Structures are given as C-alpha cells and as structure tokens.
Amino acid sequence: MADDHPPLQNPQKLPLKYRLLLRLRSFVSHKALRPNMTVNRSLISLFESKVSSSSTPRDGVFTCDTVIDPSRNLWFRLFVPSSTPHDLPIPLLVYFHGGGFVFFSPDSLPFDILCRKLARELQAVVVSVNYRLSPEHRYPSQYEDGFDALKFIDDLDSSAFPEKSDFSRCFIAGDSAGGNIAHHVIVRSSDYKFKKVKIRGLIAIQPFFGGEERTESEIRFGETPTLNLERADWYWKAFLPDGANRNHVAAHVFGEKGVKISGVKLPATLVIVGGSDQLRDWDRKYYEWLKKGGKEVEMVEYANAIHGFYAIPELPETSLLIEEAKNFIGRIGSSVNDELK
C-alpha cells in the first residue's frame, strides 16, 4: 500500500487459454455492440456460460438466488462458505460485477467463480447483485438497483441469511463498472438510516471512471485485450443520458459538477489499481480525490496488471488482491469490534 506511484512495467503475459478466450470474447462483443447503440443479446447468450445456484457445496461454497423485484430482473446470488474455522460471525460483502454496465450477471461463469473464491478465502457471506444493463436501461438505473438491493437486505428477515452473518460488518465491493456502481451506491446510502446493515468499507477494484480528457494510460494501454479505448467509449455512450459526455458526474466523479466528497459520510476505502490498465490514471485520480477530501483511503497498485486481471486465477496479482481485501476487511472489522466493546 503506497502513495507513491510505481514505475511502469510491461503488461501481464496471459496464459494461452485466456488469450484465446479473450480473442473470442472480443470478436463476439465487436459483432454484438451495434453502431446504433443497441446490443445483440441473442448473440451474447450463445457464448456466455451460466452457472446455476446449488445447495450442494461447490469448491467449498453454497449458493442460492433471491428475487428482489422481478419487474426489473433485480435479484442477488448468495455465496456462503460451507465451513469456517471458528464459530464467530462473518462479514457481509455486497458485490457489483463489472462488464461496462452492458455485460454479465452474478450467474455468469467468471463472476460465479470470482465470488465463490471471495466467499471461501475471505470467509464472508457474498451477496452478488444482478442489476439492469445498458443501453436498455441507462443511468441512473444501475445505481437505483444497487441502493434498492441494500435496502432490501436491510429489511429482509435475518433468518434468510446464514446465522453467522454479521450485518454490522458490511462491505461494498465491485470491479470496473461494478466499482463505479459501488461508489455511487455508497454515496446514495450515506444519509440513509439502515436498521441493521452497517457499511464499514468500500473495495473498488479498477473502478470505471473517466472524463473527456485523454489520459496517458488511456493512450498507452488503449489496445489491451480486456478493455480497449474504443470499447470503453461505447460503454459510456450506452450508459450515460442521451447527449451527455464523459464529464458527466457518473463518470467524472471528481469533476466540478460532482458531489463535494468532503461532506459525504464515506467509509474506509481500498482502491485497487492496475499499472497496465487504461483506467490507471483515473483510478489514481479517484484515490487522490478521496484523500484530499479527508477520507480514510488506501491504494494498492500492481505494476503489471491489465484490466480485469482478477478474473484469471493463475495470475499472481489475483491472489495478492484477495490477500489485500482480506487484510482490509480484517483491519476494519477489528476496529469495529473495539468500538462495540
């Protein structure tokens, strides 16, 4: 955890099977994302692997799905470790998946695998939220869904969750577009009076922020296999209101039109940055903005990490990320326990 920015390195070399999968994904996305800002969902569904929930443990984790609002396909998948090394309560981690606001869901294979890993290795109950996707549902639909999911969890009878669930230690997390959603949900929640949910921390993994200005990292890493500049621009155009540009407050949170973060009750925040990610400079700016606003914030930057590295278990940075998140939750959780004594 360092305030100093590490030197630039060469981007990660991906295992062959992931290079092939990314090529296929890129080809399908290119064909599915139309110039008229619509998406060929039928084509996407042909290539997207889904995982059903299971009351039988898989890789040491039970899963089940809960519907919040069928009219907008708002639901969440619960990931519960099948065994814990102690009888103490375990924290709640509410997770928002990435995908440019356009792709994926909690039952998509990459995010089922990731959330299963988080539940097992963090020893946490993970709540992975399915929110509406753009361009069919633009800003602020995703933020509304995230906030409503939190309120639903707060109102839900505690018996709907594992007995060990500690609602007084709730962490909000998300990657890429999900990191953006996590931030905005936290801001919306800052003045809400939850009955049992106590938000203690935010884990923003390569959060998707931006602006009209072209940064050095966007130019340098704009052709990486997991997120290229042209695709990112398409995502913003599909998500933001008609006529808005990337300086909109949803993307450019630290701009003049954004909230005055110094006046927002924000929990402790961990920002994960990829040194070879086109979002690197925006994520550094986010960290500096929070720090300048007097917030408790840490930044961890992996010099070689490309965008979405955490979806590839074989990369060493994936294990490092899990360890950082575990330490962050443990540290913040310890301080909460001290407060309650």
Indicate whether 4 pLDDT > 50. no
Whole-number pLDDT of residue 236:
98
Residues 318-336: tens digit of each pLDDT: 999 999 999 999 999 776 6
What average pLDDT does the structure give for the chain?
93
Percent of the chain with pLDDT over 90: 86
Indicate whether 275 pLDDT > 90. yes
Handedness of CA 105, 50, 71, 245 (dihedral sign): positive
Read off the pLDDT of each residue in 150-156 and give the average, rounded to a whole number.
Answer: 97
Ranges 82-91, 170-179, 256-265: which has the least confidence:
82-91
Read off the pLDDT of each residue in 62-74 and give the average, rounded to a whole number.
Answer: 97
| The two three-digit tokens of residue 339, written as one number | 């407060």
Bridge partners of 92, per DSSP, are: 125, 170
Read off the pLDDT of each residue in 232-248 and give the average, rounded to a whole number.
Answer: 97
Whole-number pLDDT of residue 84:
83
Residues annotated as catalytic are: 176, 277, 307
Residues 27-51: tens digit of each pLDDT: 999 999 999 999 999 999 999 999 9
Whole-number pLDDT of residue 225:
84
Whole-number pLDDT of residue 88:
87
Query: Is 10 in contact with 313 (CB distance < 8 Å)?
Result: no
Read off the pLDDT of each residue in 118-139 and give the average, rounded to a whole number.
Answer: 98
Residues 178-234: tens digit of each pLDDT: 999 999 999 999 999 999 999 999 999 999 999 999 999 999 999 988 999 999 999
CA distances (Å), origin 251, targets 193, 206, 232, 242: 27, 13, 11, 14
DSSP state of 6: P
Give CA angle at 310 (305, 313), nearest 5°.
110
Indicate whether 337 pLDDT > 90. no
CA distance 78 to 126: 6
Whole-number pLDDT of residue 6:
40
- Which is more confident, 256 or 106? 106
Whole-number pLDDT of residue 8:
41
Bridge partners of 187, per DSSP, are: none
pTM: 0.94
Whole-number pLDDT of residue 115:
98
Whole-number pLDDT of residue 159:
87
Query: Is 112 in contact with 62 (CB distance < 8 Å)?
Result: no
